[in-house]
Chains A and B, each alone.
Chain A
Amino acid sequence: EAGVAQSPRYKIIEKRQSVAFWCNPISGHATLYWYQQILGQGPKLLIQFQNNGVVDDSQLPKDRFSAERLKGVDSTLKIQPAKLEDSAVYLCASSLQSYGYTFGSGTRLTVV
């Protein structure tokens, strides 16, 4: 089975610029997650989708971050405008049930 696909793999932008990340989950996985992993820390959940509805976005900085999951499949995460502290690895994961999580390789964002 194909894994969770993410792109781009790396991105370098200047502060105040915009950036978007893309995620294609495993086919049939209803739940999709975006995590932020700052260097030296554990992954932190930003947003969780069930099909195309939001289940939890309590830790998403909504003034600058947005995410959508069109048609309950692919998802994009956007940051506008980016700050230096947004430098991190952004991980996408999907699951069929409450225990079968599969993570993508992540997008490493550097804000300069």
Chain B
Amino acid sequence: GEDVEQSLFLSVREGDSSVINCTYTDSSSTYLYWYKQEPGAGLQLLTYIFSNMDMKQDQRLTVLLNKKDKHLSLRIADTQTGDSAIYFCAATGTASKLTFGTGTRLQVTL
């Protein structure tokens, strides 16, 4: 089945850009997602990209997809303290099954 991997932790300074990386294994994955989860809260969909796209930009968020390497990244421009959270990468594989990564904890320092 699908396996989604992420690094566990990222620390950036306020105002800098953050780049969170993700790799997945199922080359037939059709949609790839980024979710944000704040402490004690539910999953908030940030953005998604269809597998036939290379890039998607939405305000401060930029998603890059390298389908050949099965690599997905999320860039947050001008990172703010409110961006501190856990970010999950997820991929839709066979039969619309959504598989999540382990999550990357983003810490924003002043």
Contact = CB atoms under 8 A, between A and B. Distances in A.
Contacts of A33: 98
Interface in B1-15: 1, 4
A91 B98 contact: no
B97 A42 contact: no
A44 interface: yes
Given A91-B42, A101-B45, A41 B102 contact: yes
A56 B97 contact: yes
Contacts, number: 50
Interface stretch (B53-61, B63-71, B76-84, B88-96): B88-96
Interface residues of B, number: 22
B99 interface: yes
Contacts of A58: 1
Contacts of B97: 45, 48, 55-56
Contact of B96 (A42, A98, A106): A98
Contacts of B102: 41-42
Tell me if A's interface is mostly helix, strand, loop or mixed: strand
A45 B42 contact: no
A58 B99 CA distance: 13
Contacts of A103: 42-43
Interface string A51-94: 00001101000000000000000000000000000000001010
A93 to B, nearest CB: 8
Nearest to A103: B43
Given A35-B100, A97-B96, 8 more contacts: A42-B101, A42-B102, A43-B100, A55-B96, A55-B97, A58-B1, A95-B96, A99-B48
29 contacts: A31-B96, A33-B98, A35-B100, A41-B102, A41-B103, A42-B88, A42-B100, A42-B101, A42-B102, A42-B103, A43-B88, A44-B100, A45-B99, A48-B95, A48-B96, A55-B96, A55-B97, A56-B95, A58-B1, A91-B43, A95-B96, A98-B30, A99-B31, A99-B50, A99-B92, A101-B98, A103-B43, A105-B41, A105-B42
